[in-house]
Structure 1
Amino acid sequence: MASTSPAPSLTSMVVPWAAARPDAVALRTPPGESRVEVTWSRLLREVGAARDRNRSAGLAPGERMVLIAPTTPEFLVEFLGADAAGLVVVAANPLSTVRELAYLLEDSGARQVVAHPAVSAAGEQAAAEAGVAFRTIPLLAPEPAEPAQDSPGRPSPDPAAIEIVGREPDDLSALLYTSGTTGRPKGAMLTLGNLTAAAETVKGLIDATDADNWATGLPLFHVFGLAAVALPALSAGRPVTLFPRWDPQQFVHALAADAITVISGVPTMWMSVLASAPEGTAPALRAVSSGGAAIAGEVVRRFEDRFAAPVVEGYGLTETTALGTFNPLDGERKVGSVGRPVGDLEVRVIDHDGQPVPAGEVGEVCIRGPVVMKGYWNRPEATAEVLSEDGWFRTGDLGRMDADGYLFIVDRLKDLILHGGYNVYPREVEEVLYEIPGVREAAVVGTPDEKYGQQVTAVLTRTADAAGAALSAETVERFTRENLAAYKIPRIIEFVDELPKGPSGKILKRELLAHVPAQAAP
């Protein structure tokens, strides 16, 4: 049923800001000659146009639409335009192949593919082969600084009359497909309630103010960039600078140019800034949120020393709308911890029998609360494996919780290395590796070994300075021998130019295994 604002929807969060501050900036592309700044009034107008395009395509509320776009204002215009029409967005990686998109179309039953012109070829072909509608996203050009009040074709929207399809909190808003570490990717069903709860929780976590300016280079098709950055920023009525391609030098420039106060990203982004960005200042920066993967304590210390702002690590998954735990901005931040449960969430650690373990003991991390997904799309059995009847989601991550309620992620259950009967947690070894001068990035994996079952294997990249040039396998072996128990020492040490990374910047350890020789270094 269509209604006038404020209908329960994600678009509703934009409406009050379009009324209160129509000419203020809502979305920005990076600084430069081609920069586009979208005001709140224009954002609402463009969202309405996208909504109308979906209606003209004959899509009914509840139907699915595949959205392919980089981290640009156009992504959010189309995402909210689908929301205003009552559609479910299937967000796809812009690097997806025709085959991968064909799978998403078949699995989700989507009736339309919408793609940014820069990444439209595979989507157009997949749509044609599947026999579904396809359209490209109109690009947003810069507007004149002082547009004419009676400019034809660009009327100012009336926020009080914007027509939005209202929904219930349990209605599906997005299908975000997991990486598919085992089997084919599964669509995590995120509801309106999940996404709005995440936005409200994030605003509380960072103590969002009316003076904040946000920024991120995270992909918006990924839950971290969408649910923990873009939607909270829009809900708070604050501008967000979006980086479609991660460039550490451009990023450091934007910190000062846009007076950025809140940034979010993954550890590899912060490492790239430390390794290759020029000296720059961030006078307004007050909060750096890191997630997606474990961040080494040494990287935190170096980043904080440079920018004089706290790096707070959090923990969440696609299935929990990016949230779970978070270290407090004010209060004790424990190095190596991903913080305490946030908002109304509950977190516990269980053993193999599903029973809670005492503080300090390692077990599987489970989460319950308003951000936990509805389930996996059309996969009741897979849903039942991870989601209990009383709402507890089994993450597949190993962790321990201390007496103060701080969670420490030990590793992915599937990444655990079994070496001669001993459990080796890759993250513990990686923390030591990052302390070695000359190490830029590090990943530890287990490779097959006839004698020990698995061998501890380190794959490293070097820094571009004298320390990196001097770094050798012998140096690494000696340093780890001095700082780790014998069974944790890497016996295979490989150097590569770059570590393989996923779309969010997370290091892909599975890809490393195909290139690392299964033999111990002498």
Structure 2
Amino acid sequence: MNLADRLRTAAERLGGRTVLTLDRTDLAYRALDLWSARVAALLRRRGIGPGDRVAVMLPNVPEFAVVYYGALRAGAIVVPLDPLLKRREIAAFLGDCAARLVVAWHACAEAVESGTAGTRTDYLFVVPGEFHRLLREERPDRAVAPAAAGDTAVILYSAGTTGRPRGIELTHGNLGSNAAAVARVQALGVDDVLLGALPLYHAFGLTCTLNAAVHAGARLTLMPRFEPERALEVIRRDGVTVFQGVPSMYIALLDLPGAADLSLLRVCVSGGAPLPLDVLRAYRTRFGCVIFEGYGLSETSPVAASNRGGAGHRPGSIGRPVPGVAMRVVDERGREAPPGEIGEIAVRGPNVMKGYWNDPEGTAEAVRDGWFHTGDLGRVDADGFFFLVGRRREVIIRGGYTVYPREVEEVLYEHPAVRQAAVVGVPHPELGEEVAAVVAVRARVPPEELRDFVRERVAAYKFPRLVRLVDELPTGPTGKIIKRALRLPAAPAAVPPTPRR
């Protein structure tokens, strides 16, 4: 069940076919297998074995896959980390998982050295050229450490820098089954070329691009950083057939004059955040591309549901559960809600995490009777299509009325000037919360126009009384809007009562 066996099997079958591309550099399946065997030898020589944690702090470069599969091959647990983390964050994550070693990109040297100071964590920096020379000195150790489906393969840390780090334990079975489900839903094959613009240290990129590509024998062309002009160039140059991205990527490509070449794509998949319906329609009408929206969380490896082609596609939905996975909507008592009613989405299947690292209480609260309770609100229709409404903690209660942010955001995206939109609740002295919108626009537009645009299309209690215009909304590594980092418009103060005479 070791994920490294997937690579070894693919290398035996595909040999000299390219698995990874970065600009002018190509790496064949056979070569990736060989280099990962050298990494395994290096780690074993350093005393790292089954169960030891090895942090990987690399951008989207071929060395990520080399180290990832090499560490798994040695039986270690991989802890992928964002290369942009600072000293305090590095110290917190490494301290929590007690990593033996961190393999980091050379540009991270200062942060890693200070972040590991006073700990037992060693470090190794990847410098192009030098790293390869170091590995050439190692005799390949082609043995793959045995692993059961329930053995931890990866610990992913949830976003956020405040409070205790929360590590998500994903097993070889979790990641292997999810990669297979993704490959099946998207009909991936040896002739496919996937765009690797999603960060590989994130669950979306790790499973849906790297693991799925190796499972299917496909090719992955890497981008260390997503830039729309560059992405279009790579799609044309390498004949990309599968684009997996987040809504902000699709929105950015819409503004490019040469984006009509996106018709080269066979499959477009969006995840990580809700996809505005207006963006989906624009791709269909302008480029002839159908974007299949999916859904998942790091705790579900990450894919739980996805739209498919033909009758398996319903615009505005997150699709149906992927093969082997079950989903349902439950009420506050955990009872399954009837079709059409809003409740919490729960997921069960081989993709559900083993648990939170060293947090049995948190695990027991999140996974009950085999069902992972996501904290996301949604509904399911009579045909089994799920619709995401929003996060439970993001729901706005305005004067006793419930407002779901995604519904309001969808309306904002219908305005031609709106590029990004986030709807949140701000404290209000009389109503409890007021509806506010922070919007990045393509062209200048009065905030009042956006407010009135929404007011004409939703119930009176839903439209945003407060609208703030910005140049760009804060986003995370996958392009997901980080609402907690928004600069919010202030709600009006309470009107003092008129004194009686």
Shorter chain as denominator, the TM-score bin is: over 0.9
Separation in 2 of the partners of 1:516 and 1:216? 37
**Which residue of the partner structure matches residue 387 of structure 2?**
408
8 Å CA contact 2:92–2:165 kept in 1: the answer is no
**Which residue of the partner structure matches residue 499 of structure 2?**
none
CA pair 141-297 structure 1, distance change in 2 beyond 3 A: farther
| From 439, 444, 456, the counterpart of 1:482 | 456
Aligned residues: 491
Return the TM-score normalized by structure 2.
0.94
8 Å CA contact 2:58–2:64 kept in 1: the answer is yes
Separation in 2 of the partners of 1:227 and 1:137? 23
Segments of structure 2 that go 5 or more residues without pairing to the other structure are: 494-501
Residue type of the alignment partner of 1:223: A
| From 44, 51, 55, the counterpart of 2:44 | 55
**Which residue of the partner structure matches residue 262 of structure 2?**
282
Q: Secondary structure of the equivalent of 1:384?
A: helix
Residue type of the alignment partner of 1:18: A
| From 444, 461, 467, the counterpart of 1:493 | 467
**Which residue of the partner structure matches residue 497 of structure 2?**
none
Q: Secondary structure of the equivalent of 1:99?
A: helix
8 Å CA contact 2:190–2:219 kept in 1: the answer is no
Residue type of the alignment partner of 1:36: T
In the alignment, structure 1 residue 114 sits paired with structure 2 residue 103: yes
Q: Secondary structure of the equivalent of 2:473?
A: coil
Residue type of the alignment partner of 2:321: P
Q: Secondary structure of the equivalent of 1:483?
A: coil
Separation in 2 of the partners of 1:426 and 1:45? 49
Correspondence 1:42-441 to 2 at 5 A? 42-139=31-128, 162-180=142-160, 183-276=163-256, 278-388=258-368, 390-441=369-420
8 Å CA contact 1:36–1:140 kept in 2: the answer is no
Shift of 1:337: 0.4
What do the CA deviations read for 1:136-158 (whole angstroms, capped 9, x no partner)?
A: 12536999xxxxxxxx969998x
Q: Secondary structure of the equivalent of 1:12?
A: helix
Correspondence 1:8-23 to 2 at 5 A? 8-23=1-16
Segments of structure 1 that go 5 or more residues without pairing to the other structure are: 1-7, 144-151
**Which residue of the partner structure matches residue 506 of structure 1?**
480
Separation in 1 of the partners of 2:161 and 2:109? 26
8 Å CA contact 1:173–1:191 kept in 2: the answer is yes
| From 6, 20, 34, the counterpart of 1:27 | 20
**Which residue of the partner structure matches residue 4 of structure 1?**
none
8 Å CA contact 2:41–2:139 kept in 1: the answer is no
Residue type of the alignment partner of 2:237: A
What do the CA deviations read for 1:233-288 (whole angstroms, capped 9, x no partner)?
A: 01111110111111101111111211111110110111111124644513531111
In the alignment, structure 1 residue 517 sits paired with structure 2 residue 497: no
Residue type of the alignment partner of 2:2: S
Q: Secondary structure of the equivalent of 1:338?
A: coil
**C-alpha RMSD over aligned residues:** 2.1
Shift of 1:451: 1.4
Q: Secondary structure of the equivalent of 1:312?
A: strand
Residue type of the alignment partner of 1:399: G
Separation in 1 of the partners of 2:491 and 2:109? 40
Residue type of the alignment partner of 1:282: L
8 Å CA contact 1:252–1:277 kept in 2: the answer is no
Separation in 2 of the partners of 1:202 and 1:28? 21
Shift of 1:69: 0.8
Separation in 2 of the partners of 1:307 and 1:193? 38
Residue type of the alignment partner of 1:184: R
In the alignment, structure 1 residue 36 sits paired with structure 2 residue 25: yes
Separation in 2 of the partners of 1:107 and 1:278? 47
Q: Secondary structure of the equivalent of 2:335?
A: coil
What do the CA deviations read for 1:152-181 (whole angstroms, capped 9, x no partner)?
A: 969998xxx821111111100000011259
Residue type of the alignment partner of 1:314: G
Residue type of the alignment partner of 2:225: R
| From 411, 425, 449, the counterpart of 1:446 | 425
8 Å CA contact 1:399–1:410 kept in 2: the answer is yes
Residue type of the alignment partner of 1:385: E
Residue type of the alignment partner of 1:405: G
Separation in 2 of the partners of 1:213 and 1:20? 18
What do the CA deviations read for 1:295-316 (whole angstroms, capped 9, x no partner)?
A: 1000111123333221000000
Shift of 1:67: 1.0
CA pair 289-191 structure 1, distance change in 2 beyond 3 A: same
Separation in 1 of the partners of 2:153 and 2:259? 42
Q: Secondary structure of the equivalent of 1:44?
A: helix
Q: Secondary structure of the equivalent of 1:411?
A: strand
Separation in 1 of the partners of 2:216 and 2:45? 31
Residue type of the alignment partner of 1:98: R
8 Å CA contact 1:285–1:309 kept in 2: the answer is yes
Residue type of the alignment partner of 2:295: Y
Return the TM-score normalized by structure 1.
0.90
**Which residue of the partner structure matches residue 496 of structure 2?**
none
Separation in 2 of the partners of 1:116 and 1:56? 21
